[in-house]
Amino acid sequence: MNQMMKWCLVGLTSLTLGGCVSGDRSLAQLKADGNALYAHEEYDAALSKYDAYLERKPDSVEVRQKIAQTLGKLAHPVEAERYMQTVYDVEPTKLENAVGLARARVEAGHIASGLDFLRRYLDDHPEAEGYYQLAELAEQAGLPDDALRAYQVAVKLDGQNDPEPHRRLARFYQNHDRPELATIHWRMVLWFDGRDPEASAALRALGYVPGPSFAVHPSG
Protein backbone atom coordinates (compact mmCIF):
# COMPACT_ATOMS: atom_id res chain seq x y z
CA MET A 1 0.00 0.00 0.00
CA ASN A 2 1.54 3.29 -1.06
CA GLN A 3 1.86 6.26 1.29
CA MET A 4 -0.91 8.23 -0.42
CA MET A 5 -3.43 5.41 0.09
CA LYS A 6 -2.44 5.09 3.74
CA TRP A 7 -3.10 8.76 4.30
CA CYS A 8 -6.47 8.50 2.55
CA LEU A 9 -7.53 5.60 4.79
CA VAL A 10 -6.42 7.45 7.87
CA GLY A 11 -8.36 10.49 6.73
CA LEU A 12 -11.54 8.47 6.11
CA THR A 13 -11.25 6.82 9.51
CA SER A 14 -10.79 10.18 11.19
CA LEU A 15 -13.82 11.60 9.43
CA THR A 16 -15.95 8.63 10.45
CA LEU A 17 -14.86 8.78 14.06
CA GLY A 18 -15.16 12.52 14.06
CA GLY A 19 -18.74 12.28 12.87
CA CYS A 20 -19.65 9.89 15.69
CA VAL A 21 -17.93 12.03 18.29
CA SER A 22 -19.60 15.12 16.89
CA GLY A 23 -23.01 13.46 17.18
CA ASP A 24 -22.32 12.39 20.74
CA ARG A 25 -21.20 15.88 21.63
CA SER A 26 -24.37 17.29 20.13
CA LEU A 27 -26.51 15.07 22.36
CA ALA A 28 -24.39 15.94 25.36
CA GLN A 29 -24.61 19.61 24.49
CA LEU A 30 -28.40 19.47 24.19
CA LYS A 31 -28.64 17.98 27.66
CA ALA A 32 -26.11 20.44 29.08
CA ASP A 33 -27.97 23.36 27.51
CA GLY A 34 -31.26 22.05 28.91
CA ASN A 35 -29.78 21.68 32.37
CA ALA A 36 -28.30 25.18 32.26
CA LEU A 37 -31.59 26.70 31.15
CA TYR A 38 -33.45 24.74 33.83
CA ALA A 39 -31.03 26.02 36.47
CA HIS A 40 -31.78 29.58 35.32
CA GLU A 41 -35.54 28.87 35.49
CA GLU A 42 -35.95 29.22 31.73
CA TYR A 43 -38.23 26.23 31.64
CA ASP A 44 -39.80 26.62 28.19
CA ALA A 45 -36.38 26.85 26.58
CA ALA A 46 -35.09 23.94 28.67
CA LEU A 47 -38.03 21.80 27.60
CA SER A 48 -37.27 22.40 23.93
CA LYS A 49 -33.69 21.17 24.45
CA TYR A 50 -34.84 18.07 26.30
CA ASP A 51 -37.47 17.35 23.62
CA ALA A 52 -34.83 17.61 20.92
CA TYR A 53 -32.62 15.21 22.88
CA LEU A 54 -35.44 12.72 23.32
CA GLU A 55 -36.26 12.77 19.60
CA ARG A 56 -32.79 11.37 18.95
CA LYS A 57 -32.53 9.15 22.03
CA PRO A 58 -36.07 8.24 23.13
CA ASP A 59 -34.91 5.61 25.65
CA SER A 60 -33.09 8.14 27.86
CA VAL A 61 -34.53 7.69 31.34
CA GLU A 62 -32.55 10.63 32.69
CA VAL A 63 -33.92 13.09 30.14
CA ARG A 64 -37.47 11.78 30.56
CA GLN A 65 -37.09 12.54 34.24
CA LYS A 66 -35.83 16.04 33.45
CA ILE A 67 -38.80 16.59 31.15
CA ALA A 68 -41.16 15.54 33.93
CA GLN A 69 -39.52 17.97 36.35
CA THR A 70 -39.65 20.76 33.78
CA LEU A 71 -43.31 20.12 33.00
CA GLY A 72 -43.98 20.30 36.72
CA LYS A 73 -42.33 23.72 36.87
CA LEU A 74 -44.45 24.80 33.90
CA ALA A 75 -47.64 23.75 35.73
CA HIS A 76 -48.39 20.82 33.44
CA PRO A 77 -48.77 18.16 36.16
CA VAL A 78 -50.72 15.63 34.10
CA GLU A 79 -48.03 15.50 31.43
CA ALA A 80 -45.35 15.39 34.13
CA GLU A 81 -47.08 12.40 35.71
CA ARG A 82 -47.13 10.60 32.36
CA TYR A 83 -43.38 11.04 31.88
CA MET A 84 -42.58 10.01 35.45
CA GLN A 85 -44.65 6.87 35.00
CA THR A 86 -42.42 5.85 32.09
CA VAL A 87 -39.32 6.54 34.18
CA TYR A 88 -40.64 4.47 37.08
CA ASP A 89 -41.66 1.62 34.78
CA VAL A 90 -38.06 1.31 33.56
CA GLU A 91 -36.40 1.56 36.99
CA PRO A 92 -39.06 0.73 39.61
CA THR A 93 -36.68 -0.03 42.47
CA LYS A 94 -35.09 3.43 42.66
CA LEU A 95 -36.44 5.58 45.47
CA GLU A 96 -35.91 8.72 43.40
CA ASN A 97 -38.24 7.41 40.70
CA ALA A 98 -40.93 6.31 43.15
CA VAL A 99 -40.84 9.68 44.88
CA GLY A 100 -40.92 11.48 41.54
CA LEU A 101 -43.99 9.58 40.42
CA ALA A 102 -45.73 10.07 43.77
CA ARG A 103 -44.99 13.79 43.66
CA ALA A 104 -46.25 14.04 40.08
CA ARG A 105 -49.50 12.34 41.08
CA VAL A 106 -49.98 14.64 44.06
CA GLU A 107 -49.29 17.73 41.96
CA ALA A 108 -51.74 16.46 39.33
CA GLY A 109 -54.41 16.42 42.02
CA HIS A 110 -54.32 12.67 42.63
CA ILE A 111 -53.29 13.11 46.24
CA ALA A 112 -54.56 9.84 47.73
CA SER A 113 -53.19 7.88 44.79
CA GLY A 114 -49.76 9.48 45.06
CA LEU A 115 -49.39 9.05 48.80
CA ASP A 116 -50.77 5.50 48.78
CA PHE A 117 -48.40 4.58 45.97
CA LEU A 118 -45.37 5.83 47.91
CA ARG A 119 -46.53 4.11 51.09
CA ARG A 120 -46.79 0.78 49.23
CA TYR A 121 -43.34 1.30 47.74
CA LEU A 122 -41.89 1.99 51.19
CA ASP A 123 -43.60 -1.09 52.63
CA ASP A 124 -41.43 -3.08 50.23
CA HIS A 125 -38.35 -0.82 50.40
CA PRO A 126 -38.34 0.72 53.89
CA GLU A 127 -35.78 3.47 54.40
CA ALA A 128 -35.82 6.68 56.38
CA GLU A 129 -35.10 8.90 53.38
CA GLY A 130 -38.23 7.63 51.68
CA TYR A 131 -40.33 8.42 54.74
CA TYR A 132 -38.89 11.94 54.85
CA GLN A 133 -40.07 12.36 51.27
CA LEU A 134 -43.48 10.91 52.10
CA ALA A 135 -43.79 13.32 55.02
CA GLU A 136 -42.89 16.30 52.86
CA LEU A 137 -45.44 15.29 50.23
CA ALA A 138 -48.11 14.85 52.89
CA GLU A 139 -47.37 18.30 54.29
CA GLN A 140 -47.46 19.74 50.79
CA ALA A 141 -50.89 18.17 50.39
CA GLY A 142 -52.09 19.69 53.68
CA LEU A 143 -52.09 16.41 55.61
CA PRO A 144 -49.93 17.00 58.71
CA ASP A 145 -51.15 13.86 60.50
CA ASP A 146 -49.91 11.75 57.59
CA ALA A 147 -46.62 13.64 57.67
CA LEU A 148 -46.23 13.00 61.38
CA ARG A 149 -46.78 9.27 60.94
CA ALA A 150 -44.13 9.16 58.22
CA TYR A 151 -41.56 10.94 60.41
CA GLN A 152 -42.37 8.59 63.29
CA VAL A 153 -41.71 5.57 61.07
CA ALA A 154 -38.36 7.09 60.07
CA VAL A 155 -37.49 7.42 63.77
CA LYS A 156 -38.34 3.75 64.32
CA LEU A 157 -36.16 2.74 61.38
CA ASP A 158 -33.03 4.81 62.04
CA GLY A 159 -33.53 6.76 65.24
CA GLN A 160 -31.21 4.59 67.31
CA ASN A 161 -28.26 5.15 64.99
CA ASP A 162 -28.78 8.50 63.30
CA PRO A 163 -29.80 11.96 64.54
CA GLU A 164 -31.52 12.90 61.28
CA PRO A 165 -34.94 11.31 62.01
CA HIS A 166 -35.05 13.15 65.34
CA ARG A 167 -33.98 16.37 63.66
CA ARG A 168 -36.77 16.07 61.08
CA LEU A 169 -39.35 15.25 63.72
CA ALA A 170 -38.17 18.08 65.99
CA ARG A 171 -38.52 20.55 63.10
CA PHE A 172 -42.00 19.23 62.41
CA TYR A 173 -43.11 19.65 66.03
CA GLN A 174 -41.52 23.09 66.18
CA ASN A 175 -43.31 24.20 63.01
CA HIS A 176 -46.62 22.93 64.39
CA ASP A 177 -46.39 24.67 67.77
CA ARG A 178 -45.63 21.61 69.85
CA PRO A 179 -42.56 22.84 71.76
CA GLU A 180 -42.55 20.12 74.41
CA LEU A 181 -42.24 17.37 71.81
CA ALA A 182 -39.78 19.41 69.75
CA THR A 183 -37.62 19.75 72.86
CA ILE A 184 -37.51 15.99 73.39
CA HIS A 185 -36.27 15.29 69.90
CA TRP A 186 -33.78 18.17 69.84
CA ARG A 187 -32.33 16.69 73.04
CA MET A 188 -32.08 13.33 71.25
CA VAL A 189 -30.15 15.03 68.46
CA LEU A 190 -27.69 16.19 71.13
CA TRP A 191 -27.10 12.58 72.10
CA PHE A 192 -25.24 12.11 68.81
CA ASP A 193 -23.42 15.45 69.01
CA GLY A 194 -23.60 17.45 72.22
CA ARG A 195 -22.67 20.61 70.32
CA ASP A 196 -24.99 20.18 67.33
CA PRO A 197 -25.50 23.80 66.17
CA GLU A 198 -29.09 23.47 64.94
CA ALA A 199 -30.28 21.60 68.02
CA SER A 200 -28.43 24.00 70.33
CA ALA A 201 -29.93 27.07 68.66
CA ALA A 202 -33.43 25.58 68.70
CA LEU A 203 -33.19 24.66 72.39
CA ARG A 204 -31.88 28.10 73.32
CA ALA A 205 -34.84 29.63 71.46
CA LEU A 206 -37.09 27.38 73.55
CA GLY A 207 -35.55 28.73 76.75
CA TYR A 208 -33.06 25.98 77.60
CA VAL A 209 -29.32 25.92 78.12
CA PRO A 210 -28.20 23.10 75.81
CA GLY A 211 -25.07 21.02 76.12
CA PRO A 212 -23.89 17.41 76.30
CA SER A 213 -25.45 16.92 79.73
CA PHE A 214 -28.84 17.96 78.36
CA ALA A 215 -28.86 15.12 75.84
CA VAL A 216 -31.46 12.35 75.97
CA HIS A 217 -30.85 8.81 74.74
CA PRO A 218 -32.80 8.11 71.50
CA SER A 219 -34.69 5.29 73.17
CA GLY A 220 -36.46 7.96 75.21
Give pLDDT tens digits for 5-48.
Answer: 333 333 333 333 333 333 455 899 999 999 999 999 999 999 99
How many angstroms separate the Cα of 45 from the Cα of each of 40, 80, 83? 10, 16, 18
- For the chain, which domains are there? 30-125 (1.25.40.10), 151-220 (no CATH)
DSSP state of 161: T
The DSSP call for residue 194 is: T
Dihedral (Cα; 63, 68, 71, 75), 10-degree rounding = -160
In this structure, which amino acid lies at residue 4? Answer: M
Sign of the CA dihedral with 190 first, then 195, 201, and 204 last: positive
> CA 134 to CA 130: how far, in whole Å?
6
Are 85 and 101 contacting, i.e. CB atoms less than 8 angstroms apart?
yes
pLDDT of residue 2: 43
pLDDT digits 0-9 by tens, 177-215: 999 999 999 999 999 999 999 999 999 999 999 988 999
Query: CA 138, CA 102: separation in Å to the nearest integer?
Result: 11
